[in-house]
Structure 1
Amino acid sequence: MPNLRERQKESRRRKILQATREQLRANGFEATTIETIALEAEVSAVTVYNYYGTKTGLLLALIAENDSILLERMQELLKAPPETIVETFSAFAEIIRQHALSYLTKPVWRQVIAASIIEGGSQFGRSYAQLDRELARQLTKVLEKLRERGCIGPDANLDVLGDCLFQLQNARFLQFVSSDDMTNEAVDRYLREDIEALLSASPD
């Protein structure tokens, strides 16, 4: 059982991350500083630096916190996926988009994605890539359910299919967060058209 000191540290961490999320949503990445986060969290700037180091470190911690919640939602989809691959793929992508925007704004997600590319070899980049791999694995599990129903042929390589579909979702997600005018309905329509085009390209 955590002692008092450990509980206090965990409480400070939660307050700092909550303050970071609120500051990023309200002011964006560039205008948010360690000092404004510390003020919001009612801790010293030194405490924030000691816990997370930089704003990128704070982004990493937010994404890590975000990961566990997102993967729990994917488990719900795995329990009862829709009847078709189109509906399942649409639902999978929608969970990611809705969860992403409930957590951070589109401009901040652009910063997250940029940081994941620029710092690909860092802890931040590796953690972001690890989430992608886990989400692709979850999608493969959902596809296995669809194969059990006869919606996917028995010879299909589901690991490859899951990864390909996830990369397609990733591309559309990037398009979605890159434009403040892109609606959820529009990107969902594009994804449905994508998967329907892919399915129709294969001979029966």
Structure 2
Amino acid sequence: MTGLRERQKEQRRHDIAQAALALFKANGFAATTLEQIASQAGVSAPTVVNYFGGKQEILLTLLKAPDEQAMSEARANLGENSDPLEALCELEGLMTRYQLQAMPASLWRELAPYLFTGELAEAFGPWNAAVVEAARSLLVHFQQLGKVRSSVDVEVAATLFNQYANLAFIRLATEGEPDREAHARHMRSVLGLICHGMLSE
């Protein structure tokens, strides 16, 4: 019985999130109310609050899912013959692909000013921390294989990866016609600089 109840709760949570996503796409994030989300999902507003707390938490859930999928795939593709640059490019590329599929450009344009400062940025702290941890884990993997110097501060490198990837993604996602090939080339150059450094050996 407990398992059934948990599945029902998870289904309701999923239905609320999908109802919110449809409204965010149609009306924008700011114009969508909890009452509209509740009505769309066929539940009461207090139920939405009980499951998520508010709109920001729903949005965070919607944005985390594509990155979690990307991080899972990137980890699954790791092997002893993997290359640090290729692995970081793959992680960034997967996150970009799934996030572009998750949200329309109009919604990214609305959200862009709030993703780096203010309450929305604070709410996204755990999401960013998860991406930093995924990049850090990749780099630690390569340190253990001797493909990344032991002296490299992987926490700093992973944070740099996340922060720049966020900026570059917002630029891409808010373009009228996102040029993913140009974005991928640019990110490979930036990540190559991170991986290879600037100093002569």
> TM-score by structure 2 length?
0.76
Q: Residue 131 in 1 paired to residue 127 in 2?
A: yes
Partner-residue secondary structure (3-state), 2:82: coil
**CA spacing shift, 1:103–1:81, aligned 2, 3 Å:** farther
Match for 2:90: what amino acid? A
- In 1, Cα distance between the equivalents of 2:30 and 2:175? 18
Residue in structure 2 matched with residue 25 of structure 1 by the alignment:
25
- In 2, Cα distance between the equivalents of 1:81 and 1:110? 40
Residue in structure 1 matched with residue 73 of structure 2 by the alignment:
73
- In 1, Cα distance between the equivalents of 2:111 and 2:131? 17
Residue in structure 2 matched with residue 97 of structure 1 by the alignment:
96
Residue in structure 1 matched with residue 198 of structure 2 by the alignment:
201
- In 1, Cα distance between the equivalents of 2:131 and 2:181? 22
Q: Residue 163 in 1 paired to residue 168 in 2?
A: no
**CA spacing shift, 1:185–1:171, aligned 2, 3 Å:** same
Q: Residue 58 in 1 paired to residue 30 in 2?
A: no
Contact 1:59–1:112 under 8 Å retained in 2: no
- In 2, Cα distance between the equivalents of 1:197 and 1:3? 49
Task: Tell me the CA shift for residue 116 of structure 1.
Answer: 4.0
**What RMSD over aligned residues (CA atoms) do the two structures have, in Å?**
3.3
**CA spacing shift, 1:50–1:158, aligned 2, 3 Å:** closer
Match for 1:86: what amino acid? L
- In 1, Cα distance between the equivalents of 2:89 and 2:19? 32
Task: Tell me the CA shift for residue 173 of structure 1.
Answer: 1.6
Partner-residue secondary structure (3-state), 1:139: helix
Instruction: Pick from 170, 186, 190 the counterpart of residue 190 of structure 1.
Output: 186
Task: Tell me the CA shift for residue 32 of structure 1.
Answer: 4.0
Q: Residue 178 in 1 paired to residue 174 in 2?
A: yes
Q: Residue 153 in 1 paired to residue 152 in 2?
A: no
- In 1, Cα distance between the equivalents of 2:129 and 2:55? 24
Instruction: Pick from 136, 140, 143 the counterpart of residue 144 of structure 1.
Output: 140
- In 2, Cα distance between the equivalents of 1:164 and 1:66? 20
Contact 1:74–1:138 under 8 Å retained in 2: no
Match for 1:161: what amino acid? A
Q: Higher mean Cα deviation, 95-104 or 158-167? A: 158-167
Contact 1:24–1:104 under 8 Å retained in 2: no
* Identical residues among aligned pairs (%): 25
> TM-score by structure 1 length?
0.75
**CA spacing shift, 1:5–1:104, aligned 2, 3 Å:** same
Task: Tell me the CA shift for residue 200 of structure 1.
Answer: 5.7
Give unmatched runs, 5+ long, in structure 2: none
- In 2, Cα distance between the equivalents of 1:81 and 1:100? 28
Task: Tell me the CA shift for residue 188 of structure 1.
Answer: 0.7
Q: State how many pairs are aligned.
A: 200
Q: Any idea what the Cα deviations from partners look like across 1:38-82, whole Å, max 9, x if unmatched?
A: 4432334564456546433432343455565454334324x3387
